[in-house]
């Protein structure tokens, strides 16, 4: 019997509902039984921070061209989200201390200049209390007896805005045992059965605001480590491209860059980023998007740039592989390919032709008589010409014969 993680089951069910409903991934109204929308589940322990990142932030080109903005809304409460309860930037919403009252549906909408929503992404916050984690939000990892276990990643600091300062983080095992500082990030050289369990990392932040001077806010993440008999053969890693690689492109052309990786489980996340923003998947209407596929046991994410512009030459594109045990990145940049040097080729051809003409002319002038005699006597070639020309040729030949006799 295969054990399925509850979070994976919910995501699978959400995807199935999306397909049944005709692929409704964005709505302009709260989800209802007659209009199904995929909501990203967010599980938060009561009293901790809830961090929501809007996936629509990758449309920043539209922000410049169409004066678009992002708006957040609470559909299970008063609607508008204001300080001091929350902090928000253009693409991140943070509820500083979640209570059961904040539980429910939230959305971020991409608005046009008239304030009308063009696209909407949905989140559903579930608040739990008691133990330090819920089974619905655990990142599983597997190690093998006597083998090494990879490092754990605590909370993803890249999702926390710069207004928040991280003070420290603490690891707990099974919620009740605070681990010593030498636990580090959970790396093990040789795993034992006693290393199995639930590991929770709690990070502590201060918020640089006059409304919250001296207050500390927390954010937790839990990983389940299972130790098994046997040996691991498959470790997640990015195979290609190489980190720091430069790719030559022609301006205005379509470019496809394939990132190839080995994944170890269905919980591994594999995607592209443009600078610090996520590139959207299967959005062919956008100037930059990516597609996924599989080939020879490898997972592929293909970055597609529909038409290379100056902006793409300035940007950095990162293929990111996120696993329960850590994150690996490969970054590339584009540079304009130099046009072929046709003028050098043309000059070379003209030069060779000119030299050939000069050489042939000199040879003909110097050996004109010998050439004519060779053509007449050895090859039997006779040129019919006027009487004057024949006399001239006869005179020339006679002079040549007299010279030889002398």
Same domain, 112 and 54: yes
Same domain, 142 and 171: yes
Q: What is the pLDDT, as a whole number, of residue 175?
A: 92
The C-alpha atoms of residue 38 and residue 31 are separated, in whole angstroms, by 9
Q: Tell me which residue of 11, 50, 37, 406 sits closest to 221, measured CA to CA.
A: 50
Q: What is the pLDDT, as a whole number, of residue 401?
A: 39
Q: What is the pLDDT, as a whole number, of residue 26?
A: 45
Domain end point (choices 106, 128, 150):
128
DSSP conformation class of 374:
I
Same domain, 243 and 313: yes
Q: Is 210 within a domain?
A: yes
Q: Is 342 within a domain?
A: no
The number of folded domains in the chain is: 4
DSSP conformation class of 152:
P
Q: Is 161 within a domain?
A: yes
Q: Is 341 within a domain?
A: no
Same domain, 182 and 163: yes
Q: How confident is the model at residue 360 (pLDDT cuts 50, 70, 90)?
A: confident
Same domain, 21 and 111: yes
Same domain, 253 and 329: yes
- Give this prediction's pTM: 0.54
Q: Is 177 within a domain?
A: yes
Q: What is the pLDDT, as a whole number, of residue 258?
A: 92
Taken in order 373, 377, 381, 386, the sign of the CA dihedral is positive
Same domain, 216 and 254: no
The C-alpha atoms of residue 140 and residue 156 are separated, in whole angstroms, by 17
Domain end point (choices 189, 211, 228):
228
Q: How confident is the model at residue 128 (pLDDT cuts 50, 70, 90)?
A: very high
User: CA 96, 102, 105, 106: dihedral to nearest 10 degrees?
Assistant: -30
Same domain, 262 and 361: no
Structural domain span for residue 374: 347-405
Q: Is 391 within a domain?
A: yes
pLDDT over 90 percentage in the chain: 15
Same domain, 93 and 30: yes
Domain end point (choices 286, 302, 336):
336
Same domain, 15 and 56: yes
CATH code of the domain covering residue 303? 2.60.40.10
Same domain, 97 and 120: yes
Q: Is 382 within a domain?
A: yes
Same domain, 18 and 117: yes
* Least confident span in 129-138, 161-170, 244-253: 161-170
Residue with tokens 């710069």: 162
Q: How confident is the model at residue 11 (pLDDT cuts 50, 70, 90)?
A: very low
Which of the pair, 334 or 215, is modelled with greater confidence? Answer: 334
**CA 307 centroid distance within chain:** 16
Q: Is the pLDDT of residue 16 over 50?
A: no
């Amino acid at each position: 019997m295969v054990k399925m993680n509850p979070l994976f089951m919910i995501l699978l069910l959400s995807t199935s509902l999306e397909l049944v409903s005709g692929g409704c991934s964005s709505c302009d109204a709260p989800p209802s039984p007659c209009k199904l929308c995929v909501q990203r589940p967010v599980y938060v322990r009561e009293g901790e921070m809830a961090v929501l990142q809007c996936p629509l932030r990758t449309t920043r080109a539209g922000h410049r061209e169409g004066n678009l903005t992002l708006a957040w809304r609470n559909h299970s409460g008063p609607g508008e989200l204001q300080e001091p309860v929350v902090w928000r930037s253009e693409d991140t919403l943070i509820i500083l201390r979640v209570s059961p009252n904040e539980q429910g549906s939230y959305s971020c909408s991409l608005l046009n200049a008239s304030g009308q929503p063009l696209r909407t992404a949905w989140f559903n916050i579930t608040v739990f209390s008691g133990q330090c984690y819920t089974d619905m939000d655990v990142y599983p990892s597997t190690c093998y007896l006597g083998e090494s276990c990879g490092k754990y990643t605590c909370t993803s600091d890249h999702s926390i805005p710069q207004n928040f300062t991280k003070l420290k983080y603490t690891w707990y095992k099974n919620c009740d045992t605070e681990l010593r500082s030498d636990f580090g990030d959970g790396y093990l050289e040789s795993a034992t059965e006693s290393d199995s369990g639930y590991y929770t990392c709690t990070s502590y932040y201060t918020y640089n605001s006059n409304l919250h001077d001296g207050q500390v806010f927390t954010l937790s993440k839990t990983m389940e480590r299972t130790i098994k008999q046997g040996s691991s053969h498959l470790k997640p890693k990015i195979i290609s491209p190489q980190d720091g690689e430069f790719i030559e492109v022609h301006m205005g052309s379509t470019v496809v860059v394939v990132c190839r990786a080995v994944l170890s489980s269905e919980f591994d996340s594999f995607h592209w980023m443009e600078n610090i923003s996520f590139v959207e998947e299967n959005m062919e209407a956008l100037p930059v998007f990516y597609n996924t596929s599989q080939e020879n046991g490898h997972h592929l994410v293909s970055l597609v740039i529909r038409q290379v512009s100056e902006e793409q030459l300035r940007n950095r594109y990162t293929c990111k592989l996120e696993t329960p045990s850590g994150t690996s990145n490969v970054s590339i940049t584009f540079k304009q390919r130099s046009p072929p040097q046709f003028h050098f080729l043309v000059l070379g051809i003209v030069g060779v032709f000119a030299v050939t003409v000069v050489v042939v002319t000199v040879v003909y002038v110097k050996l004109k008589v010998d050439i004519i005699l060779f053509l007449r006597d050895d090859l039997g070639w006779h040129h019919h010409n006027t009487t004057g020309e024949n006399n001239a040729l006869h005179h020339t030949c006679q002079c040549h014969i007299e010279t030889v006799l002398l």
